[in-house]
Amino acid sequence: MHLDPGPKNDTTIFVSGGGDNDYACGKCGALLMSNVAQPMFANGALRCNSCGKYSDGLRPAKYSVPTMRDDVDSLRKPKETYPRKEKGKPCPQDDLLDRLHDKFVCEWQAAQGDRPRKLYHYTTFEGLQGVLKTNQLWVTDVAYLNDSLEMQLGFSTVEDALQEKEGEVSEICRSLLKRSRISGSPTDPGTGYYVACFCEERDLLSQWRAYAADGGGYAIGFSAYEMAYEGHVALRRVIYDRHEQERLVKETIDRICSEFEEVAKGKSEAELDDDHTLPSFAQLLASHLSEFLVSFKHHTFEAEQEWRIILPWAREAHLNFVNFRASRGHAVPYMALHPRTPTQEMPLLPVIEIVHGPTLHPELTKKSVHLLLQKSDYDHVEVDGSRVPLRA
């Protein structure tokens, strides 16, 4: 319902009575009804004169500034940052190390490309219900994902490049390469990575079959510009092309080795340790190479068009947050997180859309999903259905 008071009257109040309830726009917070005795617009919606969005007329809006699907194209692109994960003690080459890091960021960001405005997480009904009920996503130990080469591919690519480089450089640079080794064992209980996976496509048959109950599940659409907080949680695109993977690793190693060879000329390993030059170069190279461990996958998974939230895991810091679920005979470790910093004013996830699978009854499914969204305070989220002709 849209009651237009006219071009010279910008009031947004539709109804004013003698009750105790006020109803505000779920988007901008403008008052729509004041002092009404009971819900008045069952099975309908109020269109706000202020922002033009529709709001639930059955109850006051709980949060006034959620992002809606139509808002996504107007959001400002976030500034992507790639902080150094480790920085050693001060050394005479700190300015050079900063420039090397900036160069790496430039190259890695170019390979990553622009972040999509929307990303979709395919899941079962239980997964959808859990996300909406808790305002959290599960990030799973990467060693337990469906790709049997997960993390091993990135590790072997890095290790092969380091070994090849050792045959081309000086003895002191070989020491640098040895100290830059990173752990890539999926069975190491002390370190690792936890990830949540997303797809650029909202209605992809392979995703329905693999992750969403063979078409009987859901794709949760997120406003991707509002996901991840750098320094703790990263959002990265998965790279599938083998030649691109090898190029990125080789150029990263070559860049740092070339500069280190110049710095190390005429100096002993002990001297380079004393002024922290060698440890600082090794920490920087290891930090750069670790970016590739869980961003590389086998080319046969390319159709998934995957982006992933990545949380580096350390036993000392995160053990108390680990939970377990059963899957294919394994006790799978996972943690729950909010992909952006929640506030009291907006604790919800940046969910903008729910797409139901192709094998579900469209009208009944939409009804139940709308009710679930309303119960979970996600009234602003759009509901749509798959267009894939997959028979139940």
Q: Note whether 128 and 169 are same-domain residues.
A: yes
Q: What is the pLDDT of residue 82?
A: 81
Give the pLDDT mean for 263-270: 94
Judgement on whether residues 51 and 186 belong to the same structural domain of the protein: no
- Considering the domain architecture, whether residues 208 and 288 belong to the same structural domain is answered as yes
**Chain centroid offset of residue 391 CA:** 32
Task: Place 43 in a pLDDT band, splitting at 50, 70 and 90.
Answer: low
Check pLDDT > 70 for residue 7.
no
User: How far apart are the C-alpha atoms of 16 and 21, rounded to whole Å?
Assistant: 10
* Distance, CA of 34 to CA of 321 (rounded, Å): 44
Q: Shortest CA distance to 194 belongs to which of 317, 310, 306, 292?
A: 310
- The reply to whether 105 and 221 lie within a common domain is yes
- The residues pairing with 323 across neighbouring beta strands, listed in sequence order, are 334
Do 177 and 287 fall within a single domain? yes
Residue 364 in domain: yes
At residue 230 the predicted structure's pLDDT band, cuts being 50, 70 and 90, is low
DSSP state of 370: H
Q: Would you place residue 257 in the very low, low, confident or very high pLDDT band (cuts 50, 70, 90)?
A: very high
At 83-123, the pLDDT tens digits run 776 677 889 999 999 999 999 999 999 999 999 999 999 99
Residues 216 and 144 in one domain: yes
Could you tell me if residue 355 is inside a domain? Answer: yes
| Same-domain status, 113 and 252 | yes
Same domain flag for 47 and 191 = no
Please check whether residue 254 lies inside any domain of the structure.
yes
What's the whole-model pTM score? 0.88
Q: Are residues 147 and 201 in the same domain?
A: yes
The whole domain housing 57 covers: 15-65
Place of tokens 């499914």: 365
72 secondary structure, DSSP code: G
Measured between its terminal Cα atoms, the distance across the chain in Å is 37
In the numeric block, the tokens 């377990």 are attached to: 324
Domain match, 60 and 111 both: no
> pLDDT of 140-175, one tens digit each?
998 888 776 777 899 999 999 999 999 999 999 999
* pLDDT band of 3, cuts 50, 70, 90: low
Residue with tokens 């929307």: 118
Contact 213, 125 (CB under 8 A): yes
Number of domains the chain contains: 2
Q: Which residue has the higher pLDDT, 165 or 191?
A: 165
On whether residue 84 sits in a domain, the answer given is no
Same domain, 366 and 224: yes
Residue 4: pLDDT over 80: no
C-alpha separations of 185 from 191, 293, 336 in Å: 9, 10, 23
Confidence (pLDDT) at 55: 75
> Would residue 76 count as lying in a domain?
no
Residue 260 lies in a domain: yes
* 309 has a pLDDT exceeding 70: yes
